[in-house]
Chains A and B, each alone.
Chain A
């Protein structure tokens, strides 16, 4: 499921937009949608998977048991990050092959950067998921963090409405959400053949957010609990 579902969703979008008119000189709506999906779907999927996996570890007691072993907390986080990043890489590979080769998705910039941004978003999703799992006592609660943490980011990052057109206070909020920068980086790669300074800066910012999320998650892994 984890490998195929994003590709299936992208294929679904392709068929949705098949009959949509393309204005001359403008990019097809499918192209826009596919770029966003390729880049941001890993964030959503990895957040869900990680928050539930970690919440299960906490609830079943295996986390407490692991913390009595010589394993260091950073090793545990690194392991989670690596494992899910590899899954995200596999997922993104399948999705990119489908999009670029079969569905006619094009970007002005290199496809590699789309792939890289997708992986970085996956790591961000892992960090946020690990952090969110600390505040959920049951899987039921863990799942409900999705509408709290992920959906506002998707709404405010500029997918539906450009950020400049939103009221000031919403723009301020979107400035501190990592998805805004991830989307901007994706759009830069889609529009320009070379990697722009803006895209590089945005990628660095998202990496920074991911690192901060992982560090905060490390603080929630306490060996001693009441």
Chain B
């Protein structure tokens, strides 16, 4: 297990944003998460990285409270995940953009804003924040893939959550937009929001303060980009991740 950075970050004393303890999840008769334990500090951007099918979405659903767990506990902002008081404070953006095709972009954001009790000015701000101001009256069904992703993101930003869980938000986006979004994520984190962002593009890990490397439902490493480069001696984060995988599978082979 590589060095963990969480000890320094938790020194603030506010308690972790997410505290997962021996979490086991079984999906479709196969274990999706094995004895997963991790603590994520507040105000950070944590990247959840790993190959497709390693359990990133399952883990995020556990944090948001929509996943049935076999055993273990997930505590978010001091409360059990999915409990009623948390629903005002946690925003969730799913992997596939879940917006209504029949509604306009601004109506989608206003709808989700209304569910959170946010004023309509918050909806306009959220639409502007993701750069969809010109498309605010376009129908959801007429948007391109990247625009749908941004609309879906706006629906989560409207409630100004304390914890924002983003499942592969930059998939299918061009580099300009990607940089733009990560700049916004950084700004949100600096304002105090905790972000958990999943991706299977390793190069995005540089934007994250903290990294959780996963594979096949196991936590391989909880580290930072700098430490990962140091520990593996690789400059490219993709190679660093592959090196971690090789290291973790070698003992099993021999």
Residues on A lying within 8 angstroms of B by beta carbon are: 60-62, 64-71, 223-226
Contact = CB atoms under 8 A, between A and B. Distances in A.
A71 B112 CA distance: 10
9 contacts: A65-B98, A70-B116, A70-B117, A223-B65, A224-B66, A224-B67, A225-B66, A225-B67, A226-B28
Contacts of A67: 66
Interface of B: 27-28, 64-68, 82, 84, 87-88, 90, 92, 94, 96, 98-100, 112, 115-117, 155, 159
B69 to A, nearest CB: 8
B68 A66 contact: no
A13 B82 CA distance: 53
Contacts of B99: 62
B84 A65 contact: no
B87 A70 contact: yes
A60 B87 contact: no
B87 A69 contact: yes
Given A70-B88, A223-B82, A226-B28, A64 B115 contact: no
Contacts of A223: 65-66, 82
A62 B100 contact: yes
Given A62-B99, A70-B115, 15 more contacts: A61-B94, A65-B92, A65-B94, A68-B65, A68-B87, A68-B90, A69-B112, A70-B88, A70-B116, A223-B66, A224-B66, A224-B67, A224-B82, A225-B68, A226-B27
Nearest to A67: B66
Contacts of B100: 62
A70 B84 CA distance: 7
B66 A60 contact: no
A226 B66 contact: no
A64 B68 CA distance: 13
Contacts of B82: 68, 223-224
B28 A66 contact: no
Nearest to B96: A61
Contacts of A224: 65-68, 82
B64 A68 contact: yes
A60 B108 CA distance: 14
A65 B159 CA distance: 13
A192 B28 CA distance: 59
